[in-house]
Structure 1
């Protein structure tokens, strides 16, 4: 194989050339501070920031005043969760609700708040990773300050019933936040129709730059400030704006939304081809919804019995193919993914998981190549495993 096939787009994506071209002027030519509005260099930067905010709003179906730029999706999650928790704690509301399969940006925020005296309910999910709307409804109490449920799971691709959960939360008078980092740029999102109060996103998930994200806050909804300092972002998020990154985010999001129908069709074709080939192999379990309309169009997560995920990754890499494992071993932990355990997989199967996620740079030839490689590699790993009993 004479080139790298990158199939880990759920982790990050390459920056599009159009995005890079849009960003470059704001490093060397239009280098002004957007807050320095009393001379031309600064006012041009201020105008570029306003244009980027308007472009993001148009792409997501919200108002420009509802867009607040951050350094990443993790910051947006922390701001939404901790800012809301501290705001309502003053009213005696110190109960929070989330799911057990959230990204660590959410789960670790919850753990930090528990140490500060907050109570957190971690809702279970079914075997496909879905949160029950009824469970959300039953978990809400008079002292509940916030519900936060992810839009799409980053490991198994499950698309949660966000509109229904938002409706339940509003009936109970509770704020609702969704971590949409994995969903924005991958599926259609209309902020107003969705009905959520806050939504987090990150540019590097849709071919934008790393180090920039946003928190969308519905008009009338505003958590306490997470960062103190200057008056940037209308006094809500201090720190000189990363203008080049913000322009990159807005450009990438605009491109993603305008080309979304084609992107979804291409990714579904590759996903469905690989799923069919994988399911024909012995002792393979597809994780996440088998109803393919209820999972991200680019996501495949499968467990290959008696074929450890790390071995599969290393051997795929030797063939020039980049994917990721359902196990967290690569990050230094010997424990399997909390998501896979939450949907009921035993440890020994969770450790044998692989995630493939397609992006705009991938082709059907890439899909065919990974299938050919996987059939050979899985057979090789299993032959060496004392746990393999064909």
Structure 2
């Protein structure tokens, strides 16, 4: 059931046009890349509409294909914003070239995830012409607020009263050998560490905020975390990700801010993460007192998630891959993703199955086109199964 050469060529052409419209998160105007999609969808009689955030900026394009029979709705999701280019002079080809060389689609977004977006548009067009036979419906979310980390497109989709709430979502991140069915959650905080300020040359001894922050980092690095347990295969992880304080050399600063990222698991959740940090902070303040207590400000929390092998939509995707002759394993990812956001809303999601790739978020990003027909067929088969239709 692999895609035909004509279908594959059409997917690649659309992906090329998307890559040639730079859409770096927080840098480029998303209007041109959204316009390419809108023009293609209109040419295929597929209704779509833009979704906006609270300030009124576009954050996604939503396509909905309603079936002719009652049933649940499912969603395909791919981002069409991208990571920045980095050092453009270090690329061996133009980051926005969108060309094909030696069987690879090249340019920023080729892997993450403009090729998937083009493929999902084609699946929607295919289903649209046979929609009367489908149960429920299919939504395709084309997100332009993913790489910011805000996930504004997904948030707008879930908050839109006119949109059908999905029973599950398949996110088109790349990678051929694995279907990502879970991921660690996260708990993030900033910690304001105070100290005694003064002149660095003073004869009076002072313990400044940076010195106290260094001691805090040592305590955090030494904190014991539990090992992986149960069916969740990864342990929690704590990382100190930033430390900002002071200016110049003549002043001992009275404030230093430390950023902490903790990846959580079902056995060590956000509450446990916050408890650990508060225990460490209490030890800091007891051992090295300061004029003001250390302050903890949580900034984000997402739950971990993991789907069982027989839980949808993971089951449909894994079964479709097997039927297409692909050897694919279920994986729980270390980094968090939109699947964590969806899990917090009670919506099961897969967060990765696609073509092989190189240079994702780095130099010379490219996607292997030989994998595309099989990947296309897997998603199409999975969607048809979920919508109660035969391939």
TM-score, scaled relative to structure 2: 0.28
The structure with the largest strand share of the pair is: 2
The structure with the largest helix share of the pair is: 1
Greater C-alpha Rg? 2
